[in-house]
Structure 1
Amino acid sequence: MRFVIVITLTLLGTRSFSQKIVPLNTSAKASFRGLSVVDDNTVWVSGSNGTVGRSVDAGKTWTWLPVPGFEKRDFRDIEAFDKSTAIIIAVDTPALILKTTDGGKTWKTVYENHTPGMFLDAMEFWNDDNGIVVGDPIKGKFFIARSFDGGNTWTEVPVENAPAADSGEACFAASGTNVRILSRDMACLVSGGTRSRLFIQGAPINLPIIQGAQTTGANSIAIRDNNKLKDSEYFVVVGGDFSKDTLKEKNCFITKDGGKTWIAPATPPNGYRSCVEFIDKNKLITSGTSGVDISNDGGLNWRNISKEGYHVCRKAKKGKAVYLAGGKGRIAKLENN
């Protein structure tokens, strides 16, 4: 009996590591950095050449929704609420935020900023009403704006209340997950470049991740969800050097105490990673231009499951499905063997 139990447990352990990346057939030509998964069936993507796409059948078919007049813009983040409603950000000057309520047939400009140097990086929502958008520093301060009406209007946070950035410090728009919900009324963000830090309520925390050059630093942070929207203290940060995307040195760190101390994985991700996402309490997925990795122990050990590059990976807000998107129109789904 003991022999049978051992074999059974071994097989179960093996099965838990049997995830695979399954590419989805699309006709897209764009590079995707924006991805929002509403539920197991409803997925939105956004990217270069003014491209927005939507699937309502778990990625089997896609509707491509070019935004008229914005064919040369790059939409690097998207936040979708249902099959009909989504918000996209156009990163460079002029910085723009657009919203659709009819499934992408028409778009309304809800925010526009012509300030020289404006570059929107990422967007996050607490719920259907309350959201935040962050951008690269302007005159030494990170740009932050808030919405309290579902993204219909946006209010800029006063410069004196915005976090101060060091020279050469900015945010990467590679995944939209460099800003995350931390609690019911707080968000945090990570920076990269010559300086890489975690900001909580504007207070900076130095990160041990590789930094010092414009191509280095933190790209994404994942927050363990305790399902109660109380303060969480378990964070996983990924990044690296995107100019050397197979480099494993100092590309991932974990904190279990809200940033007071940091732990390096025993087995790090297999290179630079631009996005990280919790799948459940202990399982995470991370993706970057050199591949995709899975962790089953809270980020302490990672296993490479694909050498194909993806800029972003996101789990369904209401469901369990996990999708990925990247360059050359690539969109995929995480599945179990």
Structure 2
Amino acid sequence: MRVVLLVLALLVSLAAPASAGEHRPAWELEPTGVTAQFRGLSAVSARVAWVSGTQGTVLRTVDGGRTWASVGPTGTETLQFRDIEAFDADHAVILSIGPGTDSRVYRTDDGGAHWRQTFQNTDAAAFYDCLAFFDPWRGLAMSDPVDGRFRVQATFDGGRSWQPVPDSGFPPALPGEAGFAASGQCVTTAGPFDAWLATGGGATARVLHSGDGGRHWTASDTPLPSSPSAGVFALAFRSPSQGVAIGGDYANPTAPGPAVALSRDRGRTWRTPPQYPAGYRSGLAWRGGMVLAVGPGGSDYSPDGGRHWTAFDTGSFDSVDCAGAACWASGAQGRVARLGF
């Protein structure tokens, strides 16, 4: 009997949460030497990360943030690179946002020494917000709706060329519905075929899901608030089944309303967790079973997949990304940080 009790006590101790102060995340700022706002972020490892932002700025570190090299395309000082997807220290794709021809995609194969423009929007009604990749070859770039349908470009060669996805595969957009180019996370992928788009601005904040690599899409409502300044700003899926949506109202960033929703059925249904961050959050990432959320008002973490949240930093960040256990955050005034404990 004593042996049984000892075993039970051991199991309870292993399952118990860490005491206060143990394993608590903390951001460690890594000075970049610039004042650009970095909404684009791609974590490759603990040593390699890329950020992109205003004034055509793209930075890369290969030594864990101790030094940063400015590697953006020349002649792009008027562009805002709101999203970047890096595959390693040498290969990356960046997206600039804006109406008409300001929406562009560039790719580098030599660490940013040279870039090639691989896409430029020619439709004045389109506005590209973000991009994501299933693997180093297949990816999607999302635009706000045109003529009542979301517009998506697809690549099958790592961003070297792009083809439009037929809009017949999309459900009708709601009046006023659009994406938010806040963190490069309004489109995300998990596994070889599943992708999701985040929306707001309409009567409800929705998530669109594709299970066939982006050809066909279905829409689901979320409980997040929706208005011209509110909706789902970021999506992150740990697997094709388990995902988190986050957002709020950037015009009222301290509004207490629920700004997090969870799904366990590929985004078909969404529910509000019992606890959620207080206020608007724009970026989201998984680190194993832990979820990180960031926004201009601070950072939060959830140790249990999004059900309960704890604030751990009050600094301003726009985006967060993890590569395995290595997590990075980026934001205004050139702020970039690595996650420590």
Tell me the TM-score normalized by structure 1.
0.91
Note the alpha carbon deviations across 1:115-140, whole angstroms, 9 max, x for none.
11221111111111111111111111
Q: Which moved more, 1:7-16 or 1:271-280?
A: 7-16
Note the alpha carbon deviations across 1:205-225, whole angstroms, 9 max, x for none.
1111111x2101111111123
Q: Report the counterpart of residue 315 of structure 2 in structure 1.
A: 308
Q: Report the counterpart of residue 47 of structure 2 in structure 1.
A: 41
Q: Which moved more, 1:83-92 or 1:249-258?
A: 249-258
Report the Cα offset of residue 8 of structure 1. Answer: 9.1
AA at the equivalent of 2:25: Q
AA at the equivalent of 1:222: A
Q: 1:233 to 1:105 in 2, by over 3 A?
A: same
- Give the root-mean-square deviation of aligned CA atoms: 2.0
CA distance in 2, matches of 1:163, 1:315: 32
CA distance in 2, matches of 1:134, 1:261: 22
Q: Does 1:205 align with 2:214?
A: no
Give secondary structure in 2 for the equivalent of 1:170: coil
Superposition map of 1:248-287 within 5 A: 248-280=256-288, 282-287=289-294
CA distance in 2, matches of 1:45, 1:223: 21
AA at the equivalent of 2:47: N
Report the Cα offset of residue 261 of structure 1. Answer: 4.0
Tell me if the contact between 2:209 and 2:267 (Cα under 8 Å) persists in the aligned partners: no
Tell me if the contact between 1:291 and 1:307 (Cα under 8 Å) persists in the aligned partners: yes
Q: Does 1:325 align with 2:330?
A: yes
Report the Cα offset of residue 246 of structure 1. Answer: 1.7
Note the alpha carbon deviations across 1:149-203, whole angstroms, 9 max, x for none.
1111100112323342111100011112221114322311121112311111311
Q: Which moved more, 1:167-176 or 1:64-73?
A: 64-73
AA at the equivalent of 1:303: T
CA distance in 2, matches of 1:172, 1:183: 24
Tell me if the contact between 2:31 and 2:66 (Cα under 8 Å) persists in the aligned partners: yes
Q: 1:223 to 1:16 in 2, by over 3 A?
A: farther
Q: 1:270 to 1:115 in 2, by over 3 A?
A: same
CA distance in 1, matches of 2:231, 2:51: 25
Report the Cα offset of residue 248 of structure 1. Answer: 2.6
Which of 123, 131, 146 pairs up with 1:115?
123
Q: Report the counterpart of residue 229 of structure 2 in structure 1.
A: 215
Q: Report the counterpart of residue 244 of structure 2 in structure 1.
A: 236
Which of 232, 238, 241 pairs up with 1:224?
238
AA at the equivalent of 1:333: R
Q: 1:12 to 1:304 in 2, by over 3 A?
A: closer
Q: Report the counterpart of residue 79 of structure 2 in structure 1.
A: 73
AA at the equivalent of 1:207: T
Q: 1:257 to 1:51 in 2, by over 3 A?
A: same
Note the alpha carbon deviations across 1:285-329, whole angstroms, 9 max, x for none.
00111110000011111100111111000001xx31100000111
AA at the equivalent of 1:268: Y
Give secondary structure in 1 for the equivalent of 2:321: strand
Report the Cα offset of residue 270 of structure 1. Answer: 2.5
CA distance in 2, matches of 1:97, 1:43: 19
CA distance in 2, matches of 1:253, 1:11: 23
Q: Among all aligned residue pairs of Structure 1 and Structure 2, give the percentage whose two residues are the same amino acid.
A: 33
Report the Cα offset of residue 17 of structure 1. Answer: 4.4
Q: Which moved more, 1:76-85 or 1:178-187?
A: 178-187
CA distance in 2, matches of 1:9, 1:188: 33
Flag structure 1 segments of 5+ consecutive residues without an equivalent. 226-231
CA distance in 2, matches of 1:327, 1:335: 20
Which of 86, 94, 107 pairs up with 1:88?
94
Tell me if the contact between 1:270 and 1:291 (Cα under 8 Å) persists in the aligned partners: no
Which stretches of structure 1, 4 residues or longer, exceed 6 Å deviation after superposition?
4-11
CA distance in 2, matches of 1:22, 1:246: 25
Flag structure 2 segments of 5+ consecutive residues without an equivalent. 211-216
Count of equivalent residues: 325
AA at the equivalent of 2:185: T
Q: Report the counterpart of residue 37 of structure 2 in structure 1.
A: 31
Report the Cα offset of residue 15 of structure 1. Answer: 5.0
AA at the equivalent of 2:332: G
CA distance in 1, matches of 2:266, 2:89: 35
Give secondary structure in 2 for the equivalent of 1:329: coil
Q: 1:261 to 1:131 in 2, by over 3 A?
A: closer
Which of 172, 176, 194 pairs up with 2:180?
172
Q: Does 1:129 align with 2:137?
A: yes
Tell me the TM-score normalized by structure 2.
0.90
Q: Report the counterpart of residue 229 of structure 1 in structure 2.
A: none
Q: Report the counterpart of residue 213 of structure 2 in structure 1.
A: none
Tell me if the contact between 2:222 and 2:271 (Cα under 8 Å) persists in the aligned partners: no
